[in-house]
Chains A and B, each alone.
Chain A
Amino acid sequence: MNRKFEARLINAGLVCSVILVLVFFYIPIFTLIMFSFKEGRILNLPFEGWSLRWYQQLFSNGEVGKAAVHSFVVAVASTLISTVIGLGAAQSFVRFSFRGKTLFQIVAMAPLVFPQLLLGVVLLLWFSVLGNTFDFSNNLFTAIMGHCVYLVPFTTIIIAVQAASFDPTLEQAAQDFGATPWEVFREVTFPVLWPGVFSASIFAFLLSWGNFYISYSLTGTERTLPTFVFSGMALGSTPLYPALATITFVVGLLLIVFAEGIRRRSLAKTMASPKE
Chain B
Amino acid sequence: MSHSLEPSRLMVALHALPSVLLQSAFFVVPLCMTIALSFQETQYYQVQWVWSLTTWTEIFTTYYYWKILFNTVLMSLACVGLCAMIGFPIAYALVTRFQKWQATIKILLVFAFLTDAVLKTFGWVVFLDQTGPANFVLNFLGLPDLPDWVIYSRVSVLFGMVYTLLPFSIFTIYLSVDMIDKNLLRAAYDCGASKFRAFYEVTLPLCKNGLMAGALLVFVLSLGSFLEPKVLGGGKNPMAAELIRQTFETRINWPLGSALTIVVISITVITILLASRLLDLGQGRKK
Query: Is A241 positioned at the interface, with any CB of B under 8 Å from its CB?
Result: yes
Chain B residues in 8 Å Cβ range of A107: 20, 23-24, 27-28
Q: Once bound together, how far apart are the Cα atoms of A172 and B216, in whole Å?
A: 40
Shortest A175–chain B CB gap in Å is 7
Within 8 A of B (CB), among A85-107: 85-86, 88-89, 91-92, 95-96, 98, 104, 107
Chain B contact residue count (CB 8 A cutoff): 86
Shortest A126–chain B CB gap in Å is 4
A125 touching B97, Cβ below 8 Å: no
Chain B residues in 8 Å Cβ range of A31: 123-124, 126-127, 132-133
Q: A26-B112, A212-B116 in contact; A18/B261 too (CB < 8 A)?
A: no
B117 touching A21, Cβ below 8 Å: no
A117 touching B245, Cβ below 8 Å: yes
Chain A contact residue count (CB 8 A cutoff): 89
Query: Is A49 positioned at the interface, with any CB of B under 8 Å from its CB?
Result: no
Shortest B249–chain A CB gap in Å is 10
Within 8 A of A (CB), among B19-71: 19-20, 22-24, 26-31, 33-34, 37
Query: Is A55 positioned at the interface, with any CB of B under 8 Å from its CB?
Result: no
Within 8 A of A (CB), among B232-287: 241, 244-245, 248, 254, 257-258, 261, 264-265, 268, 272
Chain A residues in 8 Å Cβ range of B126: 28, 31-32, 35, 43, 242
A123 touching B245, Cβ below 8 Å: no
Chain B minimum-CB-distance residue to A124: B248
A113 touching B268, Cβ below 8 Å: yes
Query: Is A69 positioned at the interface, with any CB of B under 8 Å from its CB?
Result: no
B103 touching A260, Cβ below 8 Å: yes
A245 touching B119, Cβ below 8 Å: yes
A45 touching B131, Cβ below 8 Å: yes
Q: Once bound together, how far apart are the Cα atoms of A85 and B181, in whole Å?
A: 34
A149 touching B117, Cβ below 8 Å: no
Shortest B83–chain A CB gap in Å is 11
Query: Is A76 positioned at the interface, with any CB of B under 8 Å from its CB?
Result: no
Q: Once bound together, how far apart are the Cα atoms of A29 and B122, in whole Å?
A: 9
Query: Is A1 positioned at the interface, with any CB of B under 8 Å from its CB?
Result: no
A181 touching B11, Cβ below 8 Å: yes
Chain B residues in 8 Å Cβ range of A245: 116, 119, 122-123
Chain A residues in 8 Å Cβ range of B125: 233
A15 touching B112, Cβ below 8 Å: no
Contact of B122 among A145, A152, A229 (CB under 8 A): A229
A-B contact count (CB 8 A): 256
A85 touching B7, Cβ below 8 Å: no
B30 touching A122, Cβ below 8 Å: yes
Shortest B152–chain A CB gap in Å is 14
Chain A residues in 8 Å Cβ range of B28: 107
A210 touching B241, Cβ below 8 Å: no
Interface-lining segment among A57-65, A190-198, A248-256, A268-276: A248-256
Chain B residues in 8 Å Cβ range of A45: 131-133, 136
Q: Once bound together, how far apart are the Cα atoms of A40 and B197, in whole Å?
A: 58
Query: Is B187 positioned at the interface, with any CB of A under 8 Å from its CB?
Result: no
Shortest A247–chain B CB gap in Å is 11
Within 8 A of A (CB), among B76-110: 86, 89-90, 92-94, 96-98, 103, 105, 107-110
Query: Is A235 positioned at the interface, with any CB of B under 8 Å from its CB?
Result: no
Most buried by A among B114, B223, B261, B265: B114
Q: Once bound together, how far apart are the Cα atoms of A121 and B31, in whole Å?
A: 10
Contact of B216 among A34, A88, A113 (CB under 8 A): A113
B132 touching A44, Cβ below 8 Å: yes
Query: Is B73 positioned at the interface, with any CB of A under 8 Å from its CB?
Result: no
Query: Binary interface profile of B, 209-237, with partner A (CB < 8 Å = 1, else 0)?
Result: 00000001100110110110001000000
Apart from A116-B224, A118-B244, A121-B248, what 4 extra A-B contacts exist at CB < 8 Å? A15-B98, A17-B93, A18-B97, A89-B19
A-B contact pairs, 12 of them (CB 8 A): A18-B97, A31-B132, A88-B18, A114-B268, A124-B248, A129-B33, A171-B5, A210-B117, A210-B119, A226-B119, A227-B118, A233-B125
Q: Which residues of B contact A (CB under 8 A)?
A: 3-5, 7, 11-12, 14-20, 22-24, 26-31, 33-34, 37, 86, 89-90, 92-94, 96-98, 103, 105, 107-112, 114-127, 129-133, 136, 163, 166, 195, 216-217, 220-221, 223-224, 226-227, 231, 241, 244-245, 248, 254, 257-258, 261, 264-265, 268, 272
